[in-house]
Amino acid sequence: MARIVVLVGMMGSGKTTVGKRLASRIGCRFVDTDDLVVAAAGKPVRAIFEHDGEPEFRRLESAALVQALSSGDDLVVAAAGGTVLSEANRAAMREHAACVVWLDADVATLGQRTARGAHRPLIDDDPQAKLATLDRERRALYESVADARVDTAGLDVDEVVSAAAAALAKVRAS
């Protein structure tokens, strides 16, 4: 069975940046579900939200997650922030992923990191308040799928990669 690491967490938690470096450190391929969605739809995330609506985006997102998880390759998957909302997605993660790592951060940190995000229409108006609401709604879901949680606040990217790699090694050894 393929050895798959899934990174979950809020927008701005660092899934993509950390995921790329973690994949190169442990020697496997990196996939971001947002990239698969954009490739399938042939348009950017923002355009999908605006022209087709959030439900269609979520449908594409679920298909992207399943596509990544069933590729048969050893992978690090950055699962976009909302993937945990679907019970089917959470079940797919539990079924396929060797390890699910939750990259966590406080809302102020998330707000700083998402300041320039063009693919995040859900936080267009008052990002800080929107992030706080989404974080409140989703924390229990991230926790429910996670084998390990890394608190990323105050850490630089390499420190988060090291913490995630250590968490992964611990889970794989258990």
Residues that bind ligand S3P (CB under 6 A): 11, 15-16, 34, 45, 80-82, 119-120, 122
Coil vs helix vs strand at 107: helix
Tokens standing for 120?
A: 């995040």
CB-based burial label for 133 (10 Å; 0-12, 13-18, 19+): middle
Instruction: For ligand S3P, give the closer residue by CB, 27 or 55.
Output: 55
Nearest to 160 by CA among 3, 11, 16, 4: 16
Nearest to 33 by CA among 3, 62, 71, 72: 62
Instruction: For ligand S3P, give the closer residue by CB, 122 or 171.
Output: 122
Q: Which strands form 4-8's sheet, in the order they lie side by side? A: 29-32, 75-78, 4-8, 99-104, 148-151
Structure letter (DSSP) for residue 43? S
* Residue with the shortest CB distance to ligand S3P: 81
Instruction: For ligand S3P, give the closer residue by CB, 117 or 171.
Output: 117
- Min. distance of Cβ 126 from ligand S3P in angstroms? 15
Instruction: For ligand S3P, give the closer residue by CB, 137 or 169.
Output: 137
- Min. distance of Cβ 161 from ligand S3P in angstroms? 17
- Min. distance of Cβ 34 from ligand S3P in angstroms? 5
- Min. distance of Cβ 59 from ligand S3P in angstroms? 13
Q: Tokens 């229990």 sit at which residue?
A: 140
Instruction: For ligand S3P, give the closer residue by CB, 34 or 104.
Output: 34
- Min. distance of Cβ 174 from ligand S3P in angstroms? 28
